[in-house]
Amino acid sequence: MKKTTLMAAAAALALSGGIAAAAIAAGQAPAAAPAAAPAAPPTAEEAKAYVDKAEKDLAGLSEYVNKASWVRATYITEDTQWLEAKAGAEFTDLATGLAIGAARFDKVEVDPVTRRKLDILKRALVLPAPQRPGVADQMATIGSRMDSVYSTGKFEYKGKMITLNDAEDILAESRDPEELKAVWEGWRTVSPAMSADYAQLAELANEGSRALGYADTGALWRSGYDMSPDEFAAETDRLWQQVAPFYKNLHCYVRAKLNEQYGDAVQPKTGPIRADLLGNMWAQQWGNIYPIVAPKTDDAGYSLDKLLVDKGYDPVKMVKTGENFYSSLGFAPLPDTFWTRSQITRPEGREVVCHASAWDLDDADDIRIKMCTKVNAEDFYTVHHELGHNYYQRAYKDQPFIFKGGANDGFHEAIGDFAGLSALTPTYLNQIGLLDTVPGAEGDTPFLLKMALDKIAFLPFGLMVDRWRWEVYDGTLKPADYNKGWWALRTKYQGITPPGPRPDDAFDPGAKYHVPANVPYTRYFLAHIYQFQFHRAACKQAGWKGPLHRCSIYGNKEVGAKFNKMLEMGQSKPWPEALAAFTGETRTDASAVTEYFAPLNTWLIKQNKGQKCGW
């Protein structure tokens, strides 16, 4: 996940900044001031001046907002929550005002660069505030409160209070269905306290979005992809249809294995899978249950978890290894401040947000990560992912302020995931000395199955989180039906079900960080498509002749140089142009996913013979 500003984990896109001063900047009167005479039509010159002033004001506020958010995330107290909320309110006020002011120039003929900047200004905020006194403060306070409720959440288990990190470890390792159910349900006792806050914030954000000319906040979110909101929704449906058959094959195989493990009373042979049995608090990735679903003859020959421990890796060495991957592609080393200012491990004696994120605090060189790193395969991958954000941030630092962001938010998530595709291959592990020998073709099925348990299993979850929020924002789901609607979508897309009836006050969406933190989630679905598109293109550029899943671009500076050209564009051009700069393609295409996993899909179909697949 990328993090650049407070509300934004959200608006990670490009902006960290503001409102009112710039709203007045280009000759625009404050909204409350009565006009003495009809205003003259705005001009192209005024539009250009407006954008220039907006960038100056946004840049001036950016570092203050980012640092207030960093302090709260790495040291949670009532005081730091107050500071973040205050900074966030200033940000929301400024950015909302700028968005409204930018709409004034919708019908003015301006140069393409100014038009693009105006459009970005209009959608700069994930949750725009209504232009009423005190509302931005109110929204910022609610947002910070929900984030902190999540991040400090604990529940009682076996006589002691445990954190989400503790609970995740149990879900990953335990094979006792009663224990899994208790821990899964225990974490979801934290989120009901957010429900009323969430409903209020959604209502206020919708009011702010309508003032900007959008039907609702979901439509605003879908507008950030160089196409209409309806076109974007249809595009995600198209991509899902490309990969859904493979997901259903994986679901069918995993369900059968879980039935063998637990029996009909716990996991029936047909229908949905019980969510708490999948090794992950949100059933979004299933890699932790690989030992249950592994092929009868597992010739993979190694465990990355064990390799990291045996080779003496610690959290800092994990991050150093990630840096070395990017250095091998020709990227400059991370600045010294990265190492002195990042949170790489969970500090003792204070509450922090452990959810991994990458930060750009000054829109220049103060880049950092925030993690509670563990020495395991999951965090080895996460390090490569988060550093991808940082290298992207640094690549576009010389762009104008409004263009400091990913080509779209899916790009930002995909950059590090693309690196991770190389980082998890046995080829790369051998290149960096973690693995002595690369397994032969006999290791392909185990390797691809492990990858699919994370990459393919994630796809429907990556799609449905925002599908739920779109229904909240357009009024399809009322607060009383939030949880019912959540599980309807989880069953529809993922084919999973809770381990037991949910309480009337349950707010299970709030048990996933990105919901209380108001981080749009379709970006992660897109990233899981883009990363394979990037990987396929990079491997072709590198002249790789073997199977796509064995390709590592480690050490290829020619690929790195072309990749960096795309990164340097930021969001200065529509994303199809950025995609073409590296891949030569202008359309998102999930065929790279199916190509990567084709050998596994063939194997799954064979394993599923005689099974009643689907749910």
Out of 46, 253, 326, 389, pick the active-site residue.
389
Out of 251, 384, 385, 528, pick the active-site residue.
385
- Sequential DSSP letters for 278-347: SSSTTSS--GGGHHHH--SS------HHHHHHHTT--HHHHHHHHHHHHHHTTPPPPPHHHHHH-B-SPP
Note the pLDDT of residue 299.
61
Out of 355, 384, 412, 549, pick the active-site residue.
355
Active site residue 385: yes
Whether the per-residue pLDDT at 249 is higher than 70: the answer is yes
Note the pLDDT of residue 295.
92
Note the pLDDT of residue 30.
33
Note the pLDDT of residue 15.
28
Residues 6+ apart with CB under 8 A from 470: 218, 221, 222, 233
Active site residue 355: yes
Nearest to 420 by CA among 534, 565, 331, 575: 534
Confidence of residue 3 (pLDDT cuts 50, 70, 90): very low
Note the pLDDT of residue 491.
98
What is d(CA 80, CA 70) in angstroms, rounded to the nearest whole number? Answer: 9
What is d(CA 249, CA 614) in angstroms, rounded to the nearest whole number? Answer: 8
Structure-model confidence comparison of residues 38 and 3, the more confident one: 38
The type of residue at 336 is D
What is d(CA 433, CA 261) in angstroms, rounded to the nearest whole number? Answer: 36
Out of 482, 524, 530, 596, pick the active-site residue.
524
> CA-based angle 489:495:500, to the nearest 5?
85
Note the pLDDT of residue 5.
34
What is d(CA 183, CA 166) in angstroms, rounded to the nearest whole number? Answer: 9
- CB count in 10 Å sphere of residue 561: 12
Nearest to 510 by CA among 279, 59, 187, 69: 187
Per DSSP, the three-state class of 133 is coil
Q: Which tens digit of pLDDT belongs to each residue from 480-502?
A: 999 999 999 999 999 999 999 99
Whether the per-residue pLDDT at 32 is higher than 70: the answer is no
What is d(CA 611, CA 524) in angstroms, rounded to the nearest whole number? Answer: 31
Three-state secondary structure readout of 400-417? CHHHCCCCCHHHHHHHHH
Whether the per-residue pLDDT at 177 is higher than 60: the answer is yes
Q: Across the chain, what does the average pLDDT equal?
A: 91
Nearest to 521 by CA among 236, 275, 287, 243: 236
Tell me the two tokens of residue 15. Answer: 């902006």
The type of residue at 389 is H
Active site residue 386: yes
Out of 47, 87, 356, 592, pick the active-site residue.
356
Whether the per-residue pLDDT at 454 is higher than 50: the answer is yes
Query: What percent of the chain shows pLDDT beyond 90?
Result: 81
Out of 55, 84, 378, 413, pick the active-site residue.
413
Give the bridge partners for 449, in sequence order.
Answer: none
Whether the per-residue pLDDT at 17 is higher than 50: the answer is no
Note the pLDDT of residue 111.
96
Across residues 579-590, what is the average pLDDT? Answer: 96
CA distances from 310 to 291, 314, 376, 382, 423 (A): 20, 11, 11, 20, 18
Note the pLDDT of residue 213.
87
Note the pLDDT of residue 38.
62
Active site residue 528: no
Residue 571 CB-density burial (10 A; 0-12 exposed, 13-18 middle, 19+ buried): buried
Whether the per-residue pLDDT at 503 is higher than 50: the answer is yes
CA distances from 518 to 58, 248, 508 (A): 21, 29, 15
What is d(CA 516, CA 197) in angstroms, rounded to the nearest whole number? Answer: 9
Note the pLDDT of residue 36.
54
The b/e string for 498-532 (b: 16+ C-beta within 10 A; e otherwise) is: bbeebeeebbbbbbbbbbbbbbbbbbbbbbbbbbb
What is d(CA 369, CA 366) in angstroms, rounded to the nearest whole number? Answer: 10
Structure-model confidence comparison of residues 443 and 194, the more confident one: 194
Out of 168, 185, 386, 471, pick the active-site residue.
386
Active site residue 384: no
Note the pLDDT of residue 25.
28
Active site residue 482: no
Note the pLDDT of residue 169.
94
Give the H or E element holding residue 82: helix 78-103
For the chain, how are helix, strand and coil distributed in percent, rounded to 5? 60, 5, 35
Whether the per-residue pLDDT at 257 is higher than 80: the answer is yes
Whether the per-residue pLDDT at 21 is higher than 50: the answer is no
Across residues 134-142, what is the average pLDDT? Answer: 91
Q: Which tens digit of pLDDT belongs to each residue from 398-442?
A: 999 999 999 999 999 899 899 888 888 889 999 999 999 988 888
Q: Where are the alpha helices (DSSP H) in 358-437?
A: 377-395, 409-423, 426-431
Phi and psi at residue 516, to the nearest 5°: -65, -30
Note the pLDDT of residue 97.
87
- Sequential DSSP letters for 456-483: HHHHHHHHHHHHHHHHHHTTSS-GGGHH
Phi and psi at residue 160, to the nearest 5°: -140, 160
Note the pLDDT of residue 40.
82
CA distances from 115 to 41, 123, 198, 449, 572 (A): 17, 13, 34, 46, 11
Give the bridge partners for 157, in sequence order.
Answer: 160
Are β-strands 367-370 and 357-360 bridged in parallel, bridged antiparallel, or unpaired? Answer: antiparallel
